[in-house]
Amino acid sequence: MTSPTSPMKQILLIATGGTIASKKTDQGLVPMITSEEILSYIPDAASMCQITALQLFNLDSTNMNYRHWLEISSCIEQHYRDYDGFVVTHGTDTMAYTAAALSYLIQNSRKPIVLTGSQRSLDVKESDARMNLLNALQYACDDRASGVHLVFDGKVILGTRAKKTRTKSFNAFNSLDFPEVAVIRDRRLIYYIEETVTPNALTFYHTLNPRVFVLRLIPGMSADIFPFLKERYDAVVIESFGVGGVPCYEDASFIDAIADWIASGKTLVMTTQVPHEGSDMEIYQVGHLIKEQYELMEAYDMTTEAIVAKLMWILGQTSDARTIRDWFYRPVQNDILS
C-alpha cells in the first residue's frame, strides 16, 4: 500500500463484462453495467488510489476469444507508462484462460495486472463484486505486487495457475499445484510468497496462433478424429487419464494417428484430465511407449488453460520445432515447475 506521504497510485480499470457487470433481462443475465457505473459502486476505493475507468467491451466471457486477449494486452501496452497498475474486470467463466494468455503476452511486468470479477452482479444485494473489486485494487496498489494475477474471494492467484473450480460459490477459483501468492482478509494483504521481479526487459507480444485443440480422452475413444483435426489445427493437447498415456488398441490406431500427427510437423502435448499433481508419462507402458518414440511434449503440472495459452503464444512467434519445445519447457510466471 502507498504510505500516507507517497502520492496516490494511478490505476487503470479496464472493464470487459461478465456477471460483475450484468443485469437481469428476460433472457437471463447480460453484461451492461459500464466501467463508470462500476466505479460508482465502490466509492471507498477513492481513499486507496486514483482510478481511471475504460470500457473495452461488455461481453459474457463465454463469447471471448484470442482476439479479445490481444485487445486487452494492447490496451495495457498503450497505457503502460501512465499507470501504476491495471485491474481488468472480466467474466469468471473464461477468466483463467485470459489470465494465462496475458501472462504470456505481457512478460516481466513490474507493474501489477490484476483480473477480477464476481459470481453475483454488482447490483444485487448479496454480491461478492464489491469485495473482489476492492481486493483487486488493493493488490494492484501494493508496492510488492507485479505481473499477472487473478484476485478472487480474498485469494491472489498467479495468472498461470488459476482454474475455475466452482460454478456458483464465491470461492470460485483455485490455484492449482502452486500456493496462492497472498490472501486479503479484512483489508490486510498477507503474502505467502514474495515474488521476485525478473531483471529481464518488459516484453509485449502481439501475435497468437489460435489453431490449438484440446482432445479429452474417454475410454474407447476412436482415433478417427485426427484426420479432421489435421486439416484445422497446428497443435493438439491430449488430456489423457491419470499420469498419462494413450490407448493401445489391437490395431494401434491411436499410436499411428499420433505418429502421423508428429510426422506432419504438428505439435502434440500430453497432459492429464486429473486436476492435481500433473502428468508423469514414464510410469506406465501406455505413456512410456509414445514418450520414448515420438517428439511429443508433456505438460507435467501445468493447467490446461496455461497449456492452451502458451501454445497459442509460442506458435504465434515460431513454427520451428526445436524452439517450440524449448519455449514450452521454459517456465513463464511459474507455469511449469522446472
Question: Measured on CA atoms in the order 226, 232, 234, 237, is the torsion positive or negative?
Answer: negative
CB of 46 to ligand ASP, least distance (A): 25
Which of these, 178, 103, 187, lies nearest to 141 by C-alpha position?
187
Which of these, 209, 235, 204, 211, lies nearest to 102 by C-alpha position?
204
Burial of 324 (0-12, 13-18, 19+ CB in 10 A): buried
CB of 185 to ligand ASP, least distance (A): 23
Whole-angstrom Cα distance, residue 12 to residue 89? 11
Which of these, 154, 216, 213, 221, lies nearest to 185 by C-alpha position?
154
Would you tell me which residues interact with ligand ASP (CB under 6 A)?
A: 17-19, 60-62, 91-93, 117, 119
Active-site annotation holder among 2, 16, 19, 323? 19
CB of 119 to ligand ASP, least distance (A): 5
CA 207 vs. chain centroid, Å, equals 16
Which lies closer to ligand ASP via its Cβ, residue 5 or residue 62?
A: 62
Residue 19 bears catalytic tag:
yes
CB of 38 to ligand ASP, least distance (A): 13
- Read off the C-alpha cell for 64: 471471448
Which lies closer to ligand ASP via its Cβ, residue 103 or residue 116?
A: 116
Whole-angstrom Cα distance, residue 24 to residue 57? 18
Which lies closer to ligand ASP via its Cβ, residue 61 or residue 304?
A: 61
Which lies closer to ligand ASP via its Cβ, residue 98 or residue 334?
A: 98
Which lies closer to ligand ASP via its Cβ, residue 101 or residue 286?
A: 101
CB of 315 to ligand ASP, least distance (A): 26
Distance (Å) of CA 176 to CA 58, 72, 159, 164, 336: 29, 24, 11, 10, 11
Q: Which residue minimizes CB distance to ligand ASP? A: 91
For 168, the 3-state DSSP assignment is coil
CA angle 214, 218, 220 (to 5 degrees): 125
The beta-carbon contacts of 256-262 under 8 Å, at least 24 apart in sequence, are 256/223, 257/223, 257/226, 258/290, 258/294, 258/296, 259/293, 259/294, 260/226, 260/230, 261/226, 261/229, 261/230, 261/236, 262/294, 262/295, 262/296
Which lies closer to ligand ASP via its Cβ, residue 97 or residue 327?
A: 97
Contact status, residue 18 vs residue 12, Cβ threshold 8 Å: no
CB of 136 to ligand ASP, least distance (A): 14
Which lies closer to ligand ASP via its Cβ, residue 90 or residue 111?
A: 90
Contact status, residue 170 vs residue 183, Cβ threshold 8 Å: no
Q: Which residues are known catalytic residues?
A: 19
